[in-house]
Amino acid sequence: MNGSKKIITPKEGDYYITPEGYRCFTEQYHLRRGYCCESGCRHCPYGYDKKTNSYSKK
């Protein structure tokens, strides 16, 4: 990615607020952003597993 990260403004449907009050990004947001941040996101469309530090096909 040439060392630069794409910054996008969240749109409707890009996230929801969890019962604990956190913003949880949806698959829609991750796909619009265009790359995996390797943070183990709940709705990661790229198949990243933080526990194994690997990707699996989805």
Q: Express each pLDDT in 4-58 by its tens digit.
A: 677 889 999 999 999 999 999 999 999 999 999 999 999 999 999 999 999 997 6
pLDDT value at residue 58: 60
| Distance between CA atoms of residues 44 and 53, nearest Å | 13
CB atoms within 10 A of CB 19: 5
**Residues contacting 28, CB < 8 A, separation 6+:** 13, 14
Is 50 buried (19+), middle (13-18) or exposed (0-12) by CB count in 10 A?
Answer: exposed
pTM to 2 decimal places:
0.77
| Distance between CA atoms of residues 7 and 22, nearest Å | 20
pLDDT value at residue 20: 97
Check whether 2 has a pLDDT greater than 60.
Answer: no
pLDDT value at residue 29: 96
